[in-house]
Structure 1
């Protein structure tokens, strides 16, 4: 009896594999159609085999779906990595263009670019007289800021390189009336000052930006109308 059951079991298993059942009910029906000589005691065996076939099919389906999902994720990751590389490349191109443009600008005005012990400075030519806002903008295009004179040493160094004209510097009290600060560094003007006597006076309530002027061989600071007055300017690039 054991040998007969084993043979029936193997026959049913082979038949289920050949038929490739989709679900248990279909499997049972198909197995019953193909096995009329089966004894009644083998029905339970047939049912279990059919369930095993159905489960295997479902597992294979899920495994196939997982493989497809993994492929999609890999593809998306590759696209994302390529996008990052493209962005980095574009950034490098932009940085190169900016540095090249800055280098050309500085080379173009090399005769006015001075290196002192306190930093590097650009002195605008006599023909370049603008208001304070425009001066600040031009300095930034050079990768610099309007000069912030924070020590006596720097004040004395700059005095050596200018003539008797007027020059914008970064001092301002915009947003903090009466309390001047260096817009180039953000620091308050308090540790060192070199104002002309009686200055700054905010004449007619319009003077909020500082400039330099040589007076009796001494360079003094004064305030003026940021937008209405036009003069030369000095840009500063800190030493690295």
Structure 2
């Protein structure tokens, strides 16, 4: 973001000396016409996600793995985001148990997205009877993706599972010069 600001300042100074008009536009995401990829992330709905399908890690190691990719464990902020990822899992027949950033480690029975600090407010995404803190040790949240059930569930953080990372939303800056 700082480099984009430097470019804007530079173009502003140049435009005064050359008597040209520069119109900047900054927007979220990458236009489809750019045909860009963000490997290893794949575009799902309006976001970019990495679905680890081979290596099982505990919740802490999964969090660390996402951070090494400049990403975060997924935090479902909207029902639209949830539905996009679930549709992707279902349509590609992807089954498994995937860590999210959901947890109640700070305050028992108060699930938040660790990556944002926001409460998990989408009650409809929990599997029936969840979260239940079964055995008093379930403090980290997963997406359970199976043929007969897809939803959020709490599990023991030390269990090794697959995980979903969410990349930051890219920003596109463009300039029209007259």
Between structures 1 and 2, the one with greater strand share: 2
In structure 1, C-alpha distance between the alignment counterparts of 2:82 and 2:95, rounded to whole Å: 15
- For residues 162 and 75 of structure 2, the distance between their equivalents in structure 1, rounded to whole angstroms, comes to 15
Point out where structure 1 has 5 or more consecutive residues left out of the alignment.
Answer: 1-106
| Structure-2 change in CA distance of 1:150 and 1:192 (3 Å) | farther
Q: Secondary structure at the match of 1:207?
A: coil
CA separation in 1, counterparts of 2:122 and 2:88? 23
Q: Cα gap change, 1:193/1:187 in structure 2, threshold over 3 Å: closer, same or farther?
A: farther
Q: When the two structures are superposed, what TM-score results if normalisation uses the length of structure 2?
A: 0.67
- Hey, what does 2:83 align to over in structure 1? 156
Equivalent-residue separation in structure 2 for 1:165 and 1:152 (angstroms): 21
Give the C-alpha shift of residue 180 in structure 1.
Answer: 0.3
Matching residue of 1:185? 116
Cα offset for 1:192? 5.1
For structure 2, the 5+ residue unaligned runs are: 1-36, 171-178
Larger Rg: 1
Larger RCO (CA under 8 A, 6+ residues apart): 2
In the alignment, which residue of structure 1 is the partner of 2:66? Answer: 139
Contact 2:62 / 2:99 at 8 angstroms: preserved in 1? yes
Q: How far apart are the structure 2 equivalents of 1:170 and 1:209?
A: 8
**TM-score, normalising length: structure 1:** 0.51
CA-to-aligned-CA distance 1:35-93 (integer Å, 9 cap, x gap)? xxxxxxxxxxxxxxxxxxxxxxxxxxxxxxxxxxxxxxxxxxxxxxxxxxxxxxxxxxx
DSSP-derived class of the 1:158 partner: helix
Separation of aligned partners in 1, 2:123 and 2:167: 20
Tell me which protein shows more helix as a share of its residues.
1
The reply on whether 1:119 has 2:47 as its aligned counterpart is: yes
Aligned-partner Cα distance in 1 for 2:166–2:134? 28
Q: Contact 1:147–1:236 (CA<8 Å) still a contact in 2?
A: yes
Structure 1 equivalent of residue 56 of structure 2:
129
Give the Å deviation of 1:219: 2.0
Aligned to 1:57: none
> Using a 3 Å threshold, how does the CA distance of structure 1 residues 153 and 192 change in structure 2: closer, same or farther?
farther
